[in-house]
């Protein structure tokens, strides 16, 4: 697999850890980028940020000028009750963006291997060998769900692999907008693989919005066509086990991923590989191999580190509350717990 960036206008020179073999090392990713990237990357970031800020400041002034002018109350531009949450959001976003920029500058980062993603090429290869189709289900929710978008991002990579091997890829969708986006993704992947003729829009089709109608149709197709590989990546609910069990019954290699925690146990029980929660979101970045995207994964890891520190601090505070209860105030009422002050005051707005 070639891990060159997809940006056509910008020249990126990514050095993978296992360059000699022409394949990425799946044990770890370490990458560096030539410095000429930084200029365009930072420019894009700055332009986007400035553009968005200008728009956001102009929007209320222009669109809601009348309402704001009529208002007798002073305009509150910032809800101070949400300060802590805003700072937290800013800190996480800033960490992710800083890591992206560091990755672009060539700082090598370690990204742990994810078994499910390593198995994707194997699954596509198996389908090719067996001469059977591949099934990709991008969840049952609409494109506004981030899980669906993450699923479509992975679809792009799977479609590229399938196009390279010329293995049929079936993408039934339960939302019309998802179908449109999936068609775009597969068409672009076919072009990127140098096989524009591979794209067949009939294979990416809409079934129904109704959960079990969709399941019945997909499972029926699975029993008839017996796909060799099944990918279930997106937002799933009760249908998860139907799909996974149908795939199991036809003997397909199955890779699933969802951020819907209630469905993870079903996928774990019935599939060969499962991307647990955040791994689904990391998947497309991991598969793209682009430094900017992998840098974001690192930023995510720093966020997790911050969360761990906060959890430990919270536990310590709660323990302190338990072993040393607070006294009473002047009216003889019990003073609130210290941890309660954090939840009621600092974290109130979140």
Contact between residue 186 and residue 155 where contact means Cβ atoms under 8 Å apart: yes
Q: Which is nearer to other proteins, 82 or 326 (CB)?
A: 82
How many angstroms separate the CA atoms of 182 and 170, rounded?
A: 11
Instruction: Return the beta strands (E) in 10-118 as ranges.
Output: none
Residue 67 C-beta: closest distance to other proteins, Å: 7
Stretch that binds other proteins, among 21-29, 113-121, 242-250, 324-332 (CB under 8 A): 242-250
Specify the DSSP class assigned to residue 336.
P
Contact between residue 252 and residue 228 where contact means Cβ atoms under 8 Å apart: yes
Specify the DSSP class assigned to residue 29.
-
How many angstroms separate the CA atoms of 240 and 242, rounded?
A: 6
The three-state secondary structure class of 301 is: helix
Stretch that binds other proteins, among 22-30, 114-122, 281-289, 323-331 (CB under 8 A): 281-289
How many angstroms separate the CA atoms of 219 and 284, rounded?
A: 26
Q: Is 115 in the site for other proteins (CB under 8 A)?
A: no
Contacting residue, 89, 329, 334, 345, with other proteins by CB under 8 A: 89
Q: Is 44 in the site for other proteins (CB under 8 A)?
A: yes
Binding residues among 58-77 for other proteins as defined by CB under 8 A: 59-60, 63-64, 67-68, 75-77
Binding residues among 209-238 for other proteins as defined by CB under 8 A: 209-213, 215-216, 220-221, 224-225, 235, 237-238
Query: Burial, 135: exposed, middle or buried (Cβ in 10 Å; 0-12, 13-18, 19+)?
Result: buried
Q: Which is nearer to other proteins, 118 or 311 (CB)?
A: 311
Contacting residue, 36, 319, 334, 343, with other proteins by CB under 8 A: 343
How many angstroms separate the CA atoms of 109 and 297, rounded?
A: 10
Contacting residue, 141, 164, 170, 272, with other proteins by CB under 8 A: 141
Q: Is 13 in the site for other proteins (CB under 8 A)?
A: no
Residue 319 C-beta: closest distance to other proteins, Å: 16
Binding residues among 168-197 for other proteins as defined by CB under 8 A: 175-177, 179-181, 184-185, 187-189, 192
Contact between residue 24 and residue 18 where contact means Cβ atoms under 8 Å apart: yes
Binding residues among 143-172 for other proteins as defined by CB under 8 A: 143-144, 146, 149-150, 152-153, 156-157
């Amino acid at each position: 697999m070639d891990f060159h960036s997809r940006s056509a206008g910008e020249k990126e020179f990514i050095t993978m850890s296992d360059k000699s073999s022409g394949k990425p090392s799946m044990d770890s990713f370490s990458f560096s980028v030539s410095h000429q990237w930084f200029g365009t990357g930072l420019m894009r970031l700055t332009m986007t940020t400035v553009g968005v800020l200008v728009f956001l400041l102009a929007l209320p002034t222009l669109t809601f000028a009348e309402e704001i002018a009529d208002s007798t109350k002073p305009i509150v531009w910032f809800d101070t009750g949400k300060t802590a949450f805003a700072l937290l959001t800013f800190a996480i976003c800033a960490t992710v963006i800083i890591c992206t920029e560091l990755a672009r500058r060539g700082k090598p980062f370690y990204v742990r291997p994810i078994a499910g993603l390593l198995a994707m090429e194997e699954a596509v290869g198996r389908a090719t060998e067996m001469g059977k189709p591949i099934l990709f289900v991008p969840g049952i929710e609409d494109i506004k769900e981030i899980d669906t978008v993450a699923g479509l991002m992975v679809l792009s990579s799977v479609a590229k692999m399938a196009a390279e091997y010329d293995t049929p890829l079936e993408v039934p969708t339960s939302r019309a907008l998802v179908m449109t986006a999936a068609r775009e993704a597969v068409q672009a992947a076919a072009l990127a693989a140098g096989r524009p003729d591979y794209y067949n829009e009939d294979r990416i089709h809409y079934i129904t919005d109704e959960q079990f109608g969709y399941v019945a149709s997909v499972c029926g197709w699975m029993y008839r066509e017996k796909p060799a590989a099944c990918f279930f990546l997106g937002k799933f609910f009760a249908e998860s086990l139907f799909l996974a069990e149908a795939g199991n019954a036809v003997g397909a290699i199955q890779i699933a991923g969802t951020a819907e925690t209630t469905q993870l146990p079903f996928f774990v029980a019935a599939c060969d590989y499962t991307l647990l929660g955040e791994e689904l979101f990391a998947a497309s970045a991991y598969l793209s191999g682009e430094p900017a995207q992998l840098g974001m994964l690192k930023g995510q890891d720093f966020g997790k580190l911050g969360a761990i520190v906060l959890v430990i601090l919270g536990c310590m505070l709660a323990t302190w509350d338990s072993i040393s209860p607070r006294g009473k105030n002047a009216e003889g009422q019990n003073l609130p717990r210290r941890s309660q002050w954090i939840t009621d005051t600092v974290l109130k707005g979140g």
